[in-house]
Structure 1
């Protein structure tokens, strides 16, 4: 598989794995129901401790992004639609906060941040997104 870790990056390896899996799920690279490598397999591939992979998988399972079937493997969850609106918005606000901290540290201007967000939203390509863009263009 395509996972990679950078031990000297200053970010825990399990967090790096989580970020990559979240990104792959959000972008559709990993589809609902798709099987992830086993803990042992991924640990060997990346030359890391199996406990590190296990921790990443456990955290992602707690978030509802993946699920494990004992004896069968670990899979991408169907959807996070089971979250309450309040929880979805809480997580979104957390992500936005992280974005702003990162943008501040990179000394990005508000215009640069907005342009990057708009580009990502446009790339989501869902009908709801296109409809919202049309509605906003009319304003």
Structure 2
């Protein structure tokens, strides 16, 4: 099934974000080999050149590395992956807090609401 990609943002950036998410969520483990550019492009239903651009960007950040004749692999640097995970989580939280503020919630009210929901899930 093709990946859901929006036409309002560059496709290669969405691919980078998707692969980052797959790495931090554990779909790909440190040291895992990525599928070939053509295979990934086919799954995502994008042009192989677009996939190549996304993978090149991931290499530039160090999250992915190339071995000349063997393909591309996920970094074995677990600390880098954990930092990416924390950074993305912080971005999500900041965005959430901004949205709650737009709704008129104070930080303390937001925390109370979160606590209520978490307690409700435990019951």
TMscore range, shorter length: 0.5 to 0.7
1:70 aligns with 68
Question: C-alpha separation between the residues in 2 aligned to 1:95 and 1:73?
Answer: 30
Candidates 11, 14, 32, aligned match of 2:12: 14
Q: Which runs of 5+ in 1 are unaligned?
A: 83-87, 120-139
| TM-score, reference length from structure 2 | 0.64
Separation in structure 1 between the aligned mates of residue 66 and residue 2 of structure 2, nearest angstrom: 19
User: Under a length normalisation based on structure 1, what TM-score does the superposition of the two structures give?
Assistant: 0.58
Equivalent pairs, count: 107
TM alignment of 1:87-102, pairs within 5 A: 92=87, 96=90, 99-101=93-95
* Cα separation, partners in 2 of 1:16 and 1:79, compared to 1, 3 Å: same
Structure 2, unaligned stretches of length 5 or more? 119-123
Segments ≥4 residues shifted beyond 6 Å: none
Greater RCO, 1 or 2 (C-alpha within 8 Å, sep 6+) = 2
Secondary structure of the equivalent of 2:65?
Answer: strand
Question: 2-side partners of 1:54 and 1:67: how far apart?
Answer: 13
Larger gyration radius, structure 1 or structure 2:
2
